Amino acid sequence: MFDRRLIEYFDWVLLGVTLLLGLMGMGILYSAVAAGEIIPNRVLFIKQLIWFGAGLVLMFFSFLINYKNLDRWGIWLYIASIALLASVLVFGKLVGGSQRWLVLGPVTMQPSEIAKLAVIIFLAKYYAKYSNINGMSLRELIKPFLIVLIPFMLIVKQPDLGTAMLIVLIAASMTIFVRIERRTLISIMSVCIVTIPLIWFLLKGYQKQRILTFLNPDRDPLGAGYHIIQSKIAIGSGMITGKGFLKGTQNVLSFLPEQHTDFILSVLAEEWGFVGTGLIVLIYLLLIVWGLNIAHGCREPFGVILSVGITSMLFWQVFINIAMVMGLMPVVGVPLPLISYGGSSVITTIISIGILININMRRFMVD
């Protein structure tokens, strides 16, 4: 029988924030793809609109199923995501030297986006069962390590270091939340300190170039440093209130590379200025704080840890993208949630927020 409390506890604020970010994202994306002097590509705007609508439909269906079922489905969702990642390496579409997409008829999907959510659900399932007040031991962390390692290696192979590192950051955030034994934490930190310098020798040439460019963009202003330099020019030229909708010169004259995906925040900053950018950041802050509040209000471990995992995913994507376009981090190709163009990213983000709403709707349920 339908419980009326599901409607009473429905999170209209979180739904409103999602719709607001989506609508603002559509406006920014339209400017990014329609204002160029070379080849306006409005079809990307239409595609994004379709993806956003599809995401809202899937979000609606996510309300109908008790989120606790994800506990039972976690292993199968994880296996399916690994199968998709493996399929990319065999059947994936090669674009710009990266093999990250699967073409399924008229639909192109990026399995690494789905893998992020699958890892969160599977880790939440494991930690809800095995976490304790004394913290996780090194032995208890072996399985979570393997859960993260498999998709990490498959995604690095594509190569997509940005998404791979994002999964590590999400997993680390969830692990720290459930607590780690002090001795285990010290051991892990020691290994990381020793290992990080060795990672340099495992990076591909273009990845090393990105890091060197981050440290000094002017070393190759017309090559590897071009992205960051043009992004900074766009952000700075927007000043306080911006140049106005469709009036950003860096965007209109096509100086900004990847202005509809990785560097869409630069379009926003140039046209809407500090005021518009600050507003977007405040909305993201509300989204993240609201997600943590849902975790705080949940009464059972799986829901709490799942909420923390989804919220950490949103936080790290926003943080990395903003830092990236401002030249505070190397360019790693992490999209801005609900703003950057990308069907898989939009749908995964909306479904994730739908799960948060689902958890909040059923927070009164103990069993």
- Predicted local confidence at residue 118, as pLDDT: 95
- Positive or negative: CA dihedral 235, 240, 245, 249: negative
Number of structural domains in the chain: 1
User: Could you tell me the strand order of the sheet in which 98-104 lies?
Assistant: 93-95, 98-104, 107-109
Q: pLDDT at residue 92 above 50?
A: yes
Q: Would residue 334 count as lying in a domain?
A: yes
Please report which confidence band the pLDDT of residue 249 belongs to, taking 50, 70 and 90 as the band edges: low
Please report which confidence band the pLDDT of residue 1 belongs to, taking 50, 70 and 90 as the band edges: very low
CA dist., res. 153 & res. 150, Å (int): 5
- Predicted local confidence at residue 38, as pLDDT: 44
The larger pLDDT score, comparing residue 1 to residue 62, is at 62
Q: Strand locations in 208-284, DSSP E?
A: none
Q: Would residue 342 count as lying in a domain?
A: yes
CA dist., res. 325 & res. 280, Å (int): 15
Read off the pLDDT of residues 154-193 as tens digits, 9 standing for 90 and up. 998 888 888 999 999 999 999 999 988 888 888 888 887 8
Two structure tokens written together for 185: 């934490």
Query: How many CA atoms lie within 13 Å of 14's alpha carbon, on the beta-carbon side?
Result: 27
Cβ atoms of 118 and 81 closer than 8 Å: yes
Read off the pLDDT of residues 265-278 as tens digits, 9 standing for 90 and up. 888 888 888 999 99
Compute and round to an integer the Cα radius of gyration of the chain. 21
Mention every residue, 6+ apart, whose C-beta is less than 8 A from residue 271.
28, 31, 238, 242, 243, 244, 245, 246, 247, 248, 251
Q: What percentage of the chain has pLDDT greater than the value 90?
A: 40
- Predicted local confidence at residue 217, as pLDDT: 61
* Burial degree of 324 (CB within 10 A; 0-12, 13-18, 19+): buried
- Predicted local confidence at residue 255, as pLDDT: 60
- Predicted local confidence at residue 146, as pLDDT: 94
Distances (CA, A) of 171 to 122, 127, 309: 10, 11, 8
Read off the pLDDT of residues 109-122 as tens digits, 9 standing for 90 and up. 889 999 999 999 99
Q: pLDDT at residue 4 above 80?
A: no
Q: Strand locations in 11-96, DSSP E?
A: 93-95
Taking every pair of Cα atoms in the chain, the longest distance, rounded to a whole number of angstroms, is 66
Q: Would residue 304 count as lying in a domain?
A: yes
Read off the pLDDT of residues 321-359 as tens digits, 9 standing for 90 and up. 999 888 787 777 788 999 998 888 999 999 999 999 999
Query: How many CA atoms lie within 13 Å of 364's alpha carbon, on the beta-carbon side?
Result: 9
Query: What 8-state DSSP symbol labels residue 242?
Result: -
Average pLDDT over the chain reads: 84
- Predicted local confidence at residue 124, as pLDDT: 95
Q: Would residue 125 count as lying in a domain?
A: yes
- Predicted local confidence at residue 160, as pLDDT: 84
Two structure tokens written together for 108: 């192109």
CA dist., res. 301 & res. 295, Å (int): 9
Please report which confidence band the pLDDT of residue 17 belongs to, taking 50, 70 and 90 as the band edges: very high
Whole-prediction pTM: 0.90
Q: Which of 164, 168, 160, 166 is nearest to 204 (CA)?
A: 160
The larger pLDDT score, comparing residue 217 to residue 12, is at 12
Q: Would residue 267 count as lying in a domain?
A: yes
Query: What 8-state DSSP symbol labels residue 219?
Result: G
- Predicted local confidence at residue 39, as pLDDT: 45
Query: What 8-state DSSP symbol labels residue 1?
Result: -
Domain that holds residue 105: 5-361
Cβ atoms of 318 and 284 closer than 8 Å: yes
Cβ atoms of 168 and 312 closer than 8 Å: no
Q: Would residue 366 count as lying in a domain?
A: no
Q: Would residue 367 count as lying in a domain?
A: no
CA dist., res. 292 & res. 228, Å (int): 32
Q: Is 104 helix (H, G, I), strand (E, B) or coil?
A: strand
Give the β-pairing of 98-104 and 93-95. Answer: antiparallel
- Predicted local confidence at residue 37, as pLDDT: 46
* Burial degree of 173 (CB within 10 A; 0-12, 13-18, 19+): middle
Q: Would residue 114 count as lying in a domain?
A: yes
- Predicted local confidence at residue 31, as pLDDT: 84
Mention every residue, 6+ apart, whose C-beta is less than 8 A from residue 35.
246, 248, 251, 252
